[in-house]
Amino acid sequence: MHSHPSRPHTLSDFTTALDQLRGSVLTMASLTKHNLQNAIQGLYERDDDSCNHSIADDEEIDLLEIQIDREGIEVMSRFQPVAKDLREVISSIKIGANIERIADQAVNIARRARKLNEHPELPELHHLDSVIKLALSMFEDATRSFAERNASLAVELKSRDKSLDNLNKDLTNELVNRMQDDSPNLPSYLNMIFISRCLERIGDHASNIAEDVVFAVRAEDIRHLGK
């Protein structure tokens, strides 16, 4: 179910402040997606420059997290939001924190990619493809569910997170086996395991974002269900 934005507040500054907060979250998501793409490009194209960009640009994302917190607190103190406005502010702040963690994972991937680039490419590198594809699509859809206030899309992300966990587990097992057969390349296999683990964490954060979107749109708390 898409929740359509309702009419603006009588006090137009309130609407402006909420729009500003929303815009900051979407900007942060967009920059993070770019950083992730740089890290993945650095990995596949063995391009240290792309990795370095991803690492350097993380600072801007950190600053945006702080900005989102500040804007959220300002909305709360100036306008005392209630109901869906309050849920949107709380969710935006929490989503900002999750995006920041995703950006940190982009930095971790970039650092591991630089290490991989120091050695010859392993044929198993492309075994990461499906993990990368699923993790990136989860983050993109989490962002889209927030942008469109699409709770159904957000709910669907939870099941994809389980698939990502399984992909990561299978790949890790495979790489551990390869380590035993190909010990000279052990550091590279280890770096690939770390990268897969980073991607699995990105799925977790995307799933957290989805939970916050469901809370903002439907006022339902779907965290820790079925555990």
Partner 1 sequence: MSTEKNPTLVLTDDFAPGEVNFIKVDNFKFFYGKKEALHGINLEIPSRRVTSFIGPSGCGKSTLLRNFNRMNELIPGVRHEGDITIHGTSIFDPSVEIIALRRRIGMVFQKSNPFPMSIYENIVYPLRIAGQNNRFILDETVERCLRSSALWDEVKDRLHESALGLSGGQMQRLCIARAIASKPEILLMDEPCSALDPIATAKVEELIIELKKDFTIIIVTHNMQQASRVSELTAFFYLGNLVEFDETRKIFTNPSKQQTEEYITGRFG
Shortest distance in whole angstroms from residue 196 CB to partner 1: 39
Shortest distance in whole angstroms from residue 74 CB to partner 1: 16
Would you say 82 or 225 has its CB closer to partner 1?
82
Structural tokens at position 122: 């392993």
Would you say 206 or 217 has its CB closer to partner 1?
217
Would you say 12 or 159 has its CB closer to partner 1?
12
Shortest distance in whole angstroms from residue 78 CB to partner 1: 12
Shortest distance in whole angstroms from residue 4 CB to partner 1: 11
Shortest distance in whole angstroms from residue 9 CB to partner 1: 5
**Residue 181, number of CB atoms within 10 A of its CB:** 7
Query: Is 207 in contact with 147 (CB distance < 8 Å)?
Result: no
| Site residues, partner 1 (CB under 8 A) | 6-11, 14, 79-87, 219
Round to whole Å and give the CA distance between 136 and 114. Answer: 20
Q: What is the sign, positive or negative, of the torsion defined by CA atoms of 89, 220, 149, 159?
A: positive
Helix/strand/coil for 78? helix
Cβ neighbours for 63, distance < 8 A, ≥ 6 positions apart: none
Shortest distance in whole angstroms from residue 214 CB to partner 1: 13
The owner of tokens 């890290």 is 39
CA proximity to 117, closest of 172, 188, 53, 185: 188
Single-letter code of the amino acid located at 133: K
Would you say 14 or 44 has its CB closer to partner 1?
14
Round to whole Å and give the CA distance between 221 and 218. Answer: 9
Q: What are phi and psi of 214, to 5 degrees?
A: -60, -40
Would you say 146 or 215 has its CB closer to partner 1?
215
Would you say 80 or 177 has its CB closer to partner 1?
80
